[in-house]
């Protein structure tokens, strides 16, 4: 499914290279009623005159969506350029698109460094609150003190690529894959081994790694949620951010660590009512 949404945008703005992918990423169709907070961030293609999925996201409050900052950094990152779809397993129902009225990237995010610079997280405020229903729910945020143990099995979801250079085919059904958490030190060594600067810390403290050979997210899943079971509920511990190769044993997926940003999120998004 996912990787750092380095795709060519349709409309104003330039393009950046797509990351290489490697084989399949072990995904399968998500069952109905499972991931009810999954969102699709869509950008209007002037060339095709239609809305197109560019990133994932998660509903963390009826009026707020959590996503990756690199998903919103365009030549003209106006809120009106985006729409959000929530509550559907399949993409592209024009009657279900919500307008975005405000984009709030984390202030330390550096668009020149993109996701590899860290702080790859952003909030989207919807025009109106979503009506919660059997098809739409919010996902819980973890306490800032939560430590996700290495090798814990968690889930990532999205509408990204599923095979080598292979986009998800119609009817564009939401995909899911179970992935193991990889410790930051181990993950950093993997990435350093392929880096020209082996002394440089590539996996920063605000990042979280997850994935194994054939079990990964991929191009187009950026911004989507990584969730783990905790206290008999699902909590979002990561935001799909970047990675060098999809589904490769030596390159786990890299996620923004949500616990590093809970206090910032709560400056804008009220906690759930008791």
List residues with catalytic annotation.
Answer: 70, 120, 222
Sheet strands (E) in 34-96: 38-45, 50-61, 64-67, 82-86
Cα gap 35→134, rounded to integer Å: 11
Question: For strand 253-257 and strand 233-242, is the pairing parallel, antiparallel, or unpaired?
Answer: antiparallel
Strand-pair partners of 53: 42
DSSP string, 156-211: EEESS--BTTBPPPTT-B-EEEEEEEE-HHHHHHHHHHT-S-TTS--S-TTEEEE-
């Amino acid at each position: 499914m996912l990787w750092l949404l380095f795709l060519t945008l349709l409309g104003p703005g330039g393009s950046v290279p797509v990351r290489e992918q490697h084989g399949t990423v072990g995904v399968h169709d998500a069952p109905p009623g499972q991931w009810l907070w999954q969102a699709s961030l869509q950008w209007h293609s002037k060339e095709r005159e239609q809305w197109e999925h560019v990133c994932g996201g998660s509903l963390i409050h009826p009026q707020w969506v959590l996503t990756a900052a690199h998903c919103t950094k365009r030549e003209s990152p106006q809120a009106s350029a985006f729409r959000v779809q929530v509550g559907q397993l399949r993409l592209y129902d024009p009657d279900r698109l919500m307008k975005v009225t405000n984009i709030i990237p984390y202030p330390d995010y550096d668009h020149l460094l993109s996701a590899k610079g860290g702080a790859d997280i952003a909030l989207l405020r919807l025009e109106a609150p979503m009506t919660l229903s059997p098809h739409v729910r919010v996902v819980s945020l973890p306490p800032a003190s939560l430590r996700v143990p290495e090798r814990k099995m968690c889930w990532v979801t999205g509408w990204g690529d599923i095979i080598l250079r292979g986009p998800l085919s119609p009817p564009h059904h939401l995909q899911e894959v179970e992935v193991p958490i990889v410790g930051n030190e181990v993950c950093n060594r993997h990435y350093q081994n392929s880096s020209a600067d082996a002394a440089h810390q590539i996996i920063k403290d605000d990042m979280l790694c997850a994935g194994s050979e054939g079990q990964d997210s991929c191009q187009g899943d950026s911004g989507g949620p990584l969730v783990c079971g905790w206290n008999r509920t699902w909590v979002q511990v990561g935001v799909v951010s970047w990675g060098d190769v999809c589904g490769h044993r030596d390159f786990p997926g890299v996620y923004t660590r949500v616990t590093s940003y809970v206090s910032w999120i709560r400056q804008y998004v009220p906690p759930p009512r008791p």
